[in-house]
A and B are shown apart, each in its own frame.
Chain A
Amino acid sequence: MTLYDKSVAGRCAFSFSFEEDEARGESCVPEYARASVKALPEVSELDLVRHFTNLARVNYGVDTGFYPLGSCTMKYNPKINERLAADPRLTMRHPLDDESDNQGVLQMEYELKESLKEITGMDDFTLQPACGAHGELTGMLIIHAYMRDHDPRRTRVLIPDSAHGTNPASASMAGFQVVTVPSDERGGVDMEALDRLMDDTVAAIMLTNPNTVGLFEENITRIAEVVHARGGLLYYDGANLNALMGLIRPGDLGFDVVHLNLHKTFSTPHGGGGPGAAPVGVKQFLAEYLPVPIVVCRNGRYTLDSDRPRSIGRMSAFYGNTSVLARAFVYIRMMGRDGLVAASRAAVINANYVKILLSPYYPPAYDRPVMHETVLSAKGYDKYGVSLLDIAKRLMDYGYHPPTIYFPHFPPHAEEVMMIEPTESESKETLDAFCDALIKISNEAQEQPDLLLSAPHNTVVTRVNETYAARHLVTSQRDKKENG
């Protein structure tokens, strides 16, 4: 039941001391612009509380249990981050208020920026992009503007077949044509293909490192040499930076533009699909293209600099998702130099441990040690009439969120694969129990495949019919009413 279904005319959850005559307000608006009272529900406060409390209860989250969603980095979100980010001294700041009133929040943003420069080896950062894909678009627009000024023939962007779907979508939104680079049999960029494709029409290559199959791009230094020697730039998708903190820095590897997903590597919560934050770092020669404004420090005073004539402009109305940035700031300050290294180390050990335990049942896509996540295949189970989707759904009955299964997909290397990312947050016991469940499911697949085919059984709903949803498009209460 929706809140509309629970609505009773005359009920109210709102307590506010109105001082003005409502008719006076109505009369401010001319006839042509005035709307009738809009159809919102009428519920009591307790109705509202039970409604959303029960909805939150039927949702699975990191606080509920293990969420091994590869590439998404569902690590624990420390509660101190939430508490400090909710500080009214931060949340009640008006973005256009005088800088002298905002020195604390500007200093926080400046210090975050400095930390990110050190962690990535980049020269300057914008904190404006709202999410990973927004960061990618920002970075690719920077490259687009740079090439417009320096080499306008370069209208194409190389993207490996293993890349996250946002990479080609972002490159395309930034006005580039996308050229796919195949992976080689070891899971990295096919160097021969790169050599063939990297010509004077290519503006950049977008790489995720470690890539989406959890492997470090071994040839990265050679790739950087080839791309730079032929006039292109290197874009680093920081979705998987959590494997490398304190070990290696994208800036030192030759990357020119970097985006970071603070809601992955730096522990800010995902919120069921955002808000995140994705600062974008660049090498000095691109700094003039960063979106405005940029937080800078001049003589001990923090200020927002908008005087950048070559800037790509604005990516949003203000300066980014400040309260998300605050959480990442707290995480980095509390982890410090050793903690960030320890996090990457634990994440890598956990991923390799899961890979070893599960390899006999679900063979790895590539037989190499992995970084922060492992990609395992369920292809062999088709002989029992069971698909990867069935295995994933059955995991829910054991109390786990399934790994990423819709991605990556680039046959023949990655097909019917699950991408498992334990993160540093999980203990050995959790990983053991999770692997036990997947091993039991492997046996069930052979002995009782129906258990998998009809899974999940223990969730609030069983499998949801996606085709029905698309065919009978009901996306609002109004649609429901109209459909009778």
Chain B
Amino acid sequence: MQNTGRNRFPSIPSTSDEQLTMLNSVGLGFEDIISCVQGNACVEGGLHLPDGLTEDQMVQEWDTLMSRNSPAKKASLMGGGAYMHFIPAVVPHLAGQPGFVTAYTPYQPELSQGTLQSLFEYQSFIVELTDMELSNCSMYDGASAAAEAMLMAHRIKHAPRILVAANVNPAYLATVRTYVEPHGIAEETVATDETGQISQADLERLLAAGPCSAVLVQSPNYVGVIEDLPALGKVVHAHDTLFVECFTEAMALGLLAYGVGTGADIVVGDGQSLGLPMSFGGPHLGVFATLKKFNPELPGRIVGESVDTEGRQAYVMTLRAREQDIRREKATSNICSNHALNAITAAVYLGSVGRAGFRALACENAAKLQKLVQALEGSGRFSRVFKSGHVFNEMALASSLAPDELRSRLAAVPVVPPLALPRGTVPEVAGMPYSYLVCATELLKDALLEQVVAALM
């Protein structure tokens, strides 16, 4: 590679001469310093990696690589845990400021008021949106947040079983299983009924069979149907079990009720829709909110308001005694770094769309899906799987079109095709052997929606 000016590597400022000067001060050669590794298997002849690239070469290589993806689309009919929404320009602009991006965890509050206050505001927004009392300042994603919620419930209740609704996103269910397995907690699945909701009878039966620490319910559930959370909450609490509500689509928070009013003990979900791009699945944002009485068992970091020595308002990480750096193996969780910058992004996003905008967006999503589904049903090639179920912006549709044909018909339309559901995920509709999870957001403008419908006629 070419030398880039005096130094070969722009991120290493010290010249050979300066390094020599420093080594002279130390009184050792570099080889002396690293003699401690001698006697162990050292790398001979260097790493088998290519030579480095200059910045312009890197841009070229990156361009070649990214051109192997299909072009970016204008909207996505695919949801299932990642959602394409409109992101106002101020959001990446403000959240991407170096003061936020290049800071570490705010262990020194005097130098970190920007991160701390922004996270406090994020917590404030989550408290409002989930109608809970206490939010932490983020988990990794919705799935790991759900898994941590089940572990937290187990720490509180100590019962040997947990129940998970069968219509929870399968990747979330798999993550919950990974997390609870080594603790010997038995995970049992609550069946769904013909409406696409979880079966209250099956829930009653499983709860009556023995003590459970928690029940995990997703709403809207994986196939898009809104659950009757208040009714489920009553059933769960009647059996002295914690009720964990979950969402994968944070846009639903604009229209749907969660939290205290619906009987939740913990609300978890994924906040990607709050101003974050899908980014091939990460980094997303794990939302985690609970009741204050459970704060000793909450995983993750919490920012609290305090005062400085002059009596001025100041923010600081609080309830730290739960955390790994203090409690080690007795901590409530091992979580250390979380997704703080994404939480700040969500705070900026929610500030940007504001009170009326967030409601209007949620309504736009719900109405767009209805419009799309009506048009698709009109084509005769699609039919709702759950006729009576209420939905938000995703819905299971049966179709006579096979996935390959559907994809090829949509090839010329700038949308991500809907998610094909594996056979058996939803009940079969006569004459329509294939099923899809179809999502519509505010980005599915009428003109684009018409193109979609025309392609699938």
Contact = CB atoms under 8 A, between A and B. Distances in A.
Contact of B279 (A90, A164, A276, A336): A90
B22 A428 contact: yes
A131 interface: yes
A183 to B, nearest CB: 15
Contacts of B442: 16, 18
Contacts of A173: 151, 179, 182, 333-334
Highest count of chain A CB atoms <10 Å: which of B90, B94, B329, B338: B329
Given A131-B337, A464-B315, A321 B282 contact: yes
Interface in B63-112: 65-73, 76, 78, 80-82, 84, 86, 88, 90, 92-112
Interface stretch (B203-211, B341-349, B379-387, B423-431): B341-349
Interface in A243-270: 244-249, 252-253, 263, 267, 269-270
B416 A94 contact: yes
Interface in A197-248: 215-216, 218, 220-221, 244-248
A164 to B, nearest CB: 8
A77 interface: yes
B453 interface: no
A473 interface: yes
Interface residues on B, range: 35 or more
B62 A84 contact: yes
B6 interface: no
A23 to B, nearest CB: 8
Contacts of B371: 20
B337 A55 contact: no
B357 A14 contact: yes
B135 interface: yes
B328 A165 contact: yes
B9 A339 contact: yes
A16 B90 CA distance: 13
B304 A38 contact: no
Nearest to B61: A333
Interface string B375-408: 0000000000000001110000000000000010
Contacts of A75: 11
Interface stretch (A378-386, A399-407, A411-419, A439-447): A399-407
A448 interface: no
B117 interface: yes
B118 to A, nearest CB: 6
B257 A33 contact: yes
Contacts of A428: 14, 18, 21-22
A133 B358 CA distance: 34
B52 interface: yes
A192 interface: no
Interface string B229-248: 11100000000000000001
A276 B210 CA distance: 40
Nearest to A324: B283
Contact of A464 (B308, B342, B366): B308
Contact of A333 (B52, B127, B133): B52
B24 to A, nearest CB: 10
A118 B50 CA distance: 11
Interface in A457-482: 459-466, 468-470, 472-480
Q: Which of B115, B344, B417 has the most CB of A within 10 A?
A: B115
Contacts of B51: 336-338
A33 B256 contact: yes
B47 interface: yes
B449 to A, nearest CB: 9
B283 A334 contact: no
A87 to B, nearest CB: 6
Contacts of B309: 454, 462-463, 465
A388 interface: no
B53 interface: yes
- Most interface-central of B26, B114, B169, B229 (chain A CB within 10 A): B114
Contacts of B337: 131-133, 263, 270, 273-276
A456 B66 CA distance: 47
Given A2-B121, A25-B365, A94-B84, A314 B175 contact: yes
Contacts of A37: 355-356, 359
A476 B318 contact: no
Nearest to B439: A94
B158 interface: no
A12 interface: yes
Size band of the A side of the interface?
Answer: 35 or more
Interface in B306-337: 306-310, 312, 314-316, 318-320, 323-331, 333-337
Contacts of A221: 39-41
B110 A393 contact: yes
Contacts of A309: none
Contact of B344 (A29, A272, A320, A406): A272
A178 interface: yes
Given A77-B102, A101-B70, A273 B340 contact: yes
Given A34-B256, A323-B279, A40 B358 contact: yes
Interface in B253-282: 253-258, 261, 270, 277-282
Nearest to B277: A91
Contact of A40 (B107, B128, B419): B128
A295 B32 CA distance: 41
A437 B22 CA distance: 18
B106 A272 contact: yes
Contacts of B445: 17, 19
B281 to A, nearest CB: 3
Contacts of A341: 46-47
A461 B112 CA distance: 10
Contacts of B100: 55-56, 59, 61, 271-272
Contacts of B283: 130, 274-275, 277, 321-324
B235 to A, nearest CB: 14
Contact of B36 (A133, A218, A246): A218
A301 to B, nearest CB: 11
B33 interface: yes
A362 interface: no
Contacts of B323: 165
Contact of A41 (B23, B140, B354, B363): B354
Contacts of A343: 9, 11-12
Given A28-B391, A57-B99, A469-B305, A322 B368 contact: no
Interface string B191-227: 0000000000000000000000000000100000011
A18 B364 contact: yes
Contacts of B319: 470, 473
B353 A427 contact: no
A346 B73 CA distance: 44
Contacts of B417: 97-98
Contact of A24 (B104, B142, B367): B367
B169 to A, nearest CB: 7
Contacts of B90: 13, 45, 48-49
Interface string B283-305: 11000000010010000011111
Contact of B334 (A133, A348, A466): A133
Contact of A401 (B108, B138, B175): B108
Given A12-B356, A318-B281, A356 B128 contact: no
Query: Which residue, of A13, A45, A318, has the highest number of chain B Cβ atoms within 10 A?
Result: A318
- Complex A-B, nearest 6 residue pairs according to Cβ-Cβ distance, in ascending order: A318-B281, A25-B363, A336-B52, A175-B182, A271-B341, A59-B114
Given A35-B256, A247-B43, A353-B23, 20 more contacts: A2-B121, A28-B390, A37-B355, A77-B101, A88-B72, A96-B80, A104-B68, A165-B328, A175-B183, A246-B47, A275-B342, A321-B282, A322-B279, A336-B49, A369-B33, A465-B306, A469-B305, A473-B295, A473-B304, A474-B304
8 contacts: A24-B363, A90-B280, A133-B334, A165-B331, A271-B101, A315-B178, A465-B307, A476-B134
